[in-house]
Amino acid sequence: MKDWENFKIEKLIDTLLTKINTHPKIIFLVDGLGALLTTLLLLGILIPLQEFFGMPKNILIILSLIALAFAVYSFCCYFFLERNWKPFLFGISIANFFYCCLTLSLVYCCFAELTGLGVTYFLLELMVVMGLVMMEWKLIKAENMLS
């Protein structure tokens, strides 16, 4: 029990940020894994259990395809970029930002159909993705980072 008490989410975040600051390409891996997780959640949970979330299936399929495309892009950047990563990071950060705008718009448009669980899922996803976008923009702006 004592080990669990010493675990702090802040320490995990600080460790991640330190790693990203020393190896900035890792942000593409984080982004890709997050997009892959979104794809799997949409396809594996939200679509099969659509009645518990309320978002129409056709919209969930579109969102999952977008997330999958983002995952492929981010993984390609992580594995194949050697330098000059900032323009590619800018591209995925803008794409992530517009994904959030799209998701927020869909929550607004489909609000009457969404359940509390559905609203909660999409708002949590928005918070996580916008946190990632802010981290990506911070990395892009960093003066001391090597391209």
State pLDDT tens for residues 49-61. Answer: 999 999 999 999 9
Residue 13 has pLDDT above 70, yes or no: no
Task: Name the pLDDT band for 103 (thresholds 50, 70, 90).
Answer: very high
Residue 75: closest CA among 7, 20, 138, 28: 28
Q: What is the pTM of this model?
A: 0.85
* Alpha carbon distances (Å) from 59 to 49, 55, 62, 71, 107: 14, 7, 5, 18, 11
Q: How many CA atoms lie within 13 A of 78 on its CB side?
A: 16
Task: Name the pLDDT band for 147 (thresholds 50, 70, 90).
Answer: very low
